[in-house]
Structure 1
Amino acid sequence: MLAQLKDRYEAFLTEKNAVTELLAAAERSTGVQKRYIASGIILFIGLYLLFGYGASLLCNLIGFVYPAYFSIKAIESSKKDDDTQWLTYWVVYGVFSIAESFSDIFLSWCPFYYAGKCVFLLWCMAPVSWNGSSILYQRLVRPFFLKHQSAMDSMVSDLSSKAKSMAETVTKEAANLALNHEKNQ
């Protein structure tokens, strides 16, 4: 497992992208190998998540920016597998965010919570066979959804019709108010 992560890390450092180009520029200007620069940045981020002010924002950026970037790339590609991978991530991310909102008052008191949350989100987006999003979706989200799908469909249908009715009512009321306003002037 660690060997697989190390190989993936080394492969990433040899890829051609904006991050590796920045690391190569830093390597040229400092003389320090880019693997050490990248490791130092990762160590700094890890320590900041443990002890830094604003760790919540940093953690949420990590959990959003990378997946959003690759989600856009997946949308633009013709392959279906990457779409499924990132849709699965966003479903698990959404379920986690809702659960977190209810328990946030207690979780914020836990030491190193944001470091743990960041590790969890990294596991959910990791490009490995034991990807957290895939595991959690298959074992928790999907069975729950399949068990309650008809009730959820009914609830969504009811909410949609109520929202449509309310939008029509608001539109009619706004039109009446505008018409009355014009008459009164």
Structure 2
Amino acid sequence: MVSFFSKVKERVDTFLNEKNFVTDFLNKVEEKTGIKKRLLVIGTAAATGLYLLFGYGASLICNLIGFVYPAYYSIKAIESPNKDDDTQWLTYWVVYGVFGVGEFFSDIFLSWCPFYYLCKCLFLLWCMAPVPWNGSQVLYRRLVRPLFLKHEATVDSMVCDLNGKAITTVEHVTREVLQTLVRSRTIHPAEPAAKELPGPSNEPKVD
């Protein structure tokens, strides 16, 4: 547990020393108020926790916490030459997606729990925690990976069948559309331009 908090503290200090719009905003607030950035972050975290308990729109705040921070570091992982962090955040997004699918069916019941969004936020923070035993690693190794390996062949077969059916459907629809266009032009050929009728003669009448 001590190593967990030390890792979190190290990650927070690293983030606060980086150059981005969040740290720029915190630097401006620190200059105007005299309150250190770390205390501002702690106060913001405490206020967010209270808001998740009693505030309106807690679902949106919780989802932003589970998305914005991981998305930011996922982009940094893509841009970095190191691939270990790519695996870390890919694992997080897989678990996040599985959790989102499960939540779709249980949210209507669990959302009535007064501590639901706070617990969900803590769960997402555990999944993105900068430690080897974070939630995404644990859940992936113990739940997602065994389930995937067990049904991998079946899923691959279903995906291949769906791809084949999709390609066949597209080819059939394209063929039907082309045949319909050809048939339409055959039955209703383009009408030739109307011949101009001779206008009234401008020649003078002879008496």
Is 1:105 paired with 2:113?
A: no
The alignment-based identity, stated in percent, is 63
Matches within 5 A, 1:25-104: 25-104=28-107
Output the CA distance in 2 between the equivalents of 1:176 and 1:68: 47
TM-score for the superposition, normalised by structure 1: 0.88
Identify which of structures 1 and 2 has the higher relative contact order when contacts are C-alpha pairs closer than 8 Å and 6+ apart.
2
Is 1:124 paired with 2:127?
A: yes
Output the CA distance in 1 between the equivalents of 2:39 and 2:181: 66
- Does the 8 Å CA contact 2:110/2:116 hold for their aligned counterparts? yes
Partner of 1:144: 147
* CA pair 71-10 structure 1, distance change in 2 beyond 3 A: closer
* CA pair 51-172 structure 1, distance change in 2 beyond 3 A: farther
* CA pair 146-25 structure 1, distance change in 2 beyond 3 A: same
Which 5+ residue runs of structure 1 have no aligned equivalent? none
Partner of 1:163: 166
Q: Which has the larger radius of gyration?
A: 2
Output the CA distance in 2 between the equivalents of 1:134 and 1:112: 25
Partner of 2:204: none
Q: Which has the higher helix share?
A: 1
Bigger shift: 100-109 or 133-142? 100-109
Output the CA distance in 1 between the equivalents of 2:150 and 2:30: 54
Output the CA distance in 1 between the equivalents of 2:163 and 2:140: 26
Please give the per-residue CA displacement for 1:2-59, whole angstroms capped at 9, x wherever unaligned: 4423454445434444323322221110112222211111111111111111111111
Structural RMSD (CA): 2.1
TM-score for the superposition, normalised by structure 2: 0.79
Q: 1:85, CA displacement in angstroms? A: 0.6
Output the CA distance in 2 between the equivalents of 1:179 and 1:51: 65
SS in 2 for 1:97: helix
